[in-house]
Amino acid sequence: MKQTKHFTHFNSQHPTHQAAVVLGSSVITMVLAKAATMSGIADFKEILPWIIATSFILFYVVFNTVFGLQTDDMNKYWVQSLISYAGLAIISGGLAYLFSSVSLNEAGTIKWIFYILTFAYLVFLSVVKFIKRIVTFAENETWDAPKKRNKKRR
């Protein structure tokens, strides 16, 4: 019996793949929200696509930093993560604008949420990199128990 190999390139630890999955999920959610609004099922605010975009970016930030703990080459992961984040933020913002016809400046506090998410992401990545460095140092360090001296008490 011949086994067939399933051809997949998805790697959950690759930042570009994570960003693609998050972007796809964001687009699906925006399409469903737009369809619900147009059909009259629900009446959402105009800035809902911006809220969806920032929510999924937050999702990327959290899971990307968690997956960063498992990577071997943190510097490479960091660069790929930052590039993927920038692409995700730009594309999500563009899609949110297309779905809502509301610019980022008109979306009110969403602009500040983008700033906070970006700053928090940089802090999270730095903390993860620092923790990873400490753990690697601790794993490589050999510790010998202190030698006991035989002292004669007086």
Q: What is the DSSP string of 37-56?
A: HHHTS----TTHHHHHHHHH
Give the whole-angstrom CA distance, residue 12 versus residue 98: 29
Which parts of the chain sit beneath pLDDT 70?
1-11, 143-147, 152-154
Rounded to 5 degrees, φ, ψ at 151 are -100, 140
Q: Which helix (H) or strand (E) holds 27?
A: helix 15-39
pLDDT digits 0-9 by tens, 70-106: 888 888 988 999 999 999 999 999 999 999 988 888 8
pLDDT of residue 89: 95
- Cα-based distances in Å from 65 to 77, 98, 131: 10, 29, 11
The reported pLDDT for the residue numbered 6 is: 52
Q: Which amino acid belongs to residue 73?
A: D
Q: How many separate domains does the chain show?
A: 1
129 lies in some domain? yes
Residue 39 lies in a domain: yes
pLDDT at 7: 44
pLDDT recorded at residue 3:
52
Question: Which range of residues forms the domain containing residue 20?
Answer: 16-140
Find tokens 């959610």 and name the residue: 29
